[in-house]
Structure 1
Amino acid sequence: MPEGHTLFRLAREQSILFAGRPVHVTSPQGRFDAGAALLDGRVLDEVFSYGKHLFARFGGDHLHVHLGLYGSFTTGAGMPPPPRGALRMRWEADGPDGAGVWTDLRGPTACEVLPAPEVDRILDRLGPDPLRPRADGAAALRRISASRTAIGALIMDQAVLAGVGNVYRAEILFRHRVSPFRPGRQVDADLWAAMWADLVTLMRAGVRMGRIVTTRPEDRSRRSGAVRREDAHYVYRRTGLPCRICGTEVRTQVMVGRNLHWCPVCQAV
């Protein structure tokens, strides 16, 4: 499932290409026909993300997209290809340089038109997003510190923290040597402040690079040049491999429906 940095990049890209212009909206698959008809030909005001949600504002109506596990956008210039397969939604417009631009949406969990109050209801049930300006990490701590639930589950809960998925969960816990099984109420304010600041830094870097890199240069097999895929993470998808710090085998088990990765020594309970 795309994490918050991916949605932030998508929102920025779509704003640059489409905002301030009339957009031709269709649903080749047919499942979004009513919504496409409502938006077709209207000027797109802005696109923004919050956590794993994408919102495109057309006047008083908002297109809400949640990609889920399988959703994806594909964007191109010039004439779009003939529609194929389960193409939920297509946008077309004159781009900022006068050439045509288009974007296709496939396989989202949600693709719907909502009035502003419904958008507010979605936003109100989400925790703070580390990528949003002036986001309040203390709001997440208030939920975490009041819970006996494991911190590895809490930071995947979008009502606690918006935009953090399986990769950032595994990596932020490792970077701060926190067991994913530690109860939330045992995470103190100083530790959470450090974790929050680190998340902001890592997710902003993810926006810039278009990928998640969490390792420090000194912990990689190659310390200079582009970060290779096998050097990008400390524990995520490294089950059975030696921990980069202590050499213990990285372990995996399912937590809140996703594979959790951790080092049992560096992140001892």
Structure 2
Amino acid sequence: MPEGHTLHRLAKLHHKRFAGGQVRVSSPQGRFAEGAALIDGQTLLKADAWGKHLLHHYDSGLVVHVHLGLYGKFTESPAPLAAPVGEVRMRLIGAGRSGDPFGADLRGPTACEVLLEPEVDALTARLGPDPLRRDADPDRAWHRISRSARPIGALLMDQKVLAGVGNVYRAEVLFRHNISPDRPGKQLSHEEWQAIWDDLVDLMKVGVQRGVMVVVRPEHDHGAPSYAADRPRTYVYRRVGEPCRLCGTTVQHSIMEGRNLFWCPTCQPR
């Protein structure tokens, strides 16, 4: 599932390409036909993101909410667009303030719906602070973490506690701070939490800028290749059975609340 930096990167891209101009919206697949009819021809005021949720705000007060889920994806190309290929849930065509016509096709999202502003407020109220938002308050997450017996590895993935963090950032930020994913949240110090938060802010900003998750410090960025040819190296994510880049201990794997978990038992002692 795409992590929060992907949605913020999309929001920036869509704001640049479509905001300030009228947007033609359709649903070639038909599953978003009613929603598309409500906003077709309106002016997009802004696109932003909160965690893993993308929000398009239109001048009528309507908001299109998109959650990509596991399979959702946008493809972008200059207009005019070719005939739709595959199950295109939503097609956007507009020029924005730049005057350069562009299009975007959305396929396979978990959610693509039209909301009113109060419904957006209700949605975001259920989410924890997002490290990529300027208005984020890390103490909102700390309030829940410091009172919880759940492991910090689970709390970081709980979108009600912290919005936008997924499996890669979870595994890597805990490694970077030598914290076991099994440690109960209430056993973290406030200083440890603040260091995790500040690191997530920096790492996720790089993810927005570069489009990939860069999590290995430059002095450690050598040796065994990444888990995939088109991805930067990681410390522990998807490296089960391989030696830790720092100490050589075998990287471990388990399942925590239904999600794969990776850690180094030496660098992250229980």
| TM beyond 0.5 | yes
1:178-197 maps to which residues of 2 (within 5 A)? 178-197=179-198
Q: Which residue of 2 aligns with 1:225?
A: none
Q: Which residue of 1 aligns with 2:136?
A: 135
Q: Retained in 2: the 8 A contact 1:23–1:40? A: yes
- Structure 1: segments with no counterpart, 5+ residues: 223-227
1:1-269 maps to which residues of 2 (within 5 A)? 1-59=1-59, 60-94=61-95, 96-221=97-222, 232-269=233-270
Q: Retained in 1: the 8 A contact 2:144–2:161? A: yes
Query: What displacement does 1:134 show?
Result: 3.4
Query: What displacement does 1:179 show?
Result: 0.5
Letter in 1 for 2:75: T
Distance in 1 between the 2:141 and 2:68 partners? 24
Query: What displacement does 1:230 show?
Result: 6.8
Q: Retained in 1: the 8 A contact 2:213–2:232? A: no
Query: What displacement does 1:94 show?
Result: 2.8
- Structure 2: segments with no counterpart, 5+ residues: 224-228
Three-state SS of the structure 2 residue aligned to 1:64 is strand
Distance in 1 between the 2:80 and 2:192 partners? 51
Query: What displacement does 1:256 show?
Result: 2.3
Distance in 1 between the 2:139 and 2:241 partners? 35
Distance in 1 between the 2:231 and 2:207 partners? 16
Three-state SS of the structure 1 residue aligned to 2:195 is helix
Distance in 2 between the 1:230 and 1:44 partners? 33
Change in CA separation of 1:219 and 1:231 when aligned onto 2, cut-off 3 Å? farther
Change in CA separation of 1:171 and 1:97 when aligned onto 2, cut-off 3 Å? same
Q: CA RMSD in A?
A: 1.3
Q: Retained in 1: the 8 A contact 2:17–2:98? A: no
Q: Retained in 1: the 8 A contact 2:19–2:96? A: no
The percentage of counterpart residues that share the same residue type is: 56
Moved more, 13-22 or 132-141: 132-141
Q: Retained in 2: the 8 A contact 1:221–1:231? A: no
TM-score in terms of structure 1 length:
0.95
Moved more, 161-170 or 95-104: 95-104
Q: Retained in 2: the 8 A contact 1:242–1:250? A: yes
Q: Retained in 1: the 8 A contact 2:55–2:63? A: yes
Cα-to-partner distance string for 1:228-265 (whole Å, 9 max, x where unaligned): 85752100111111001110111111112221111111
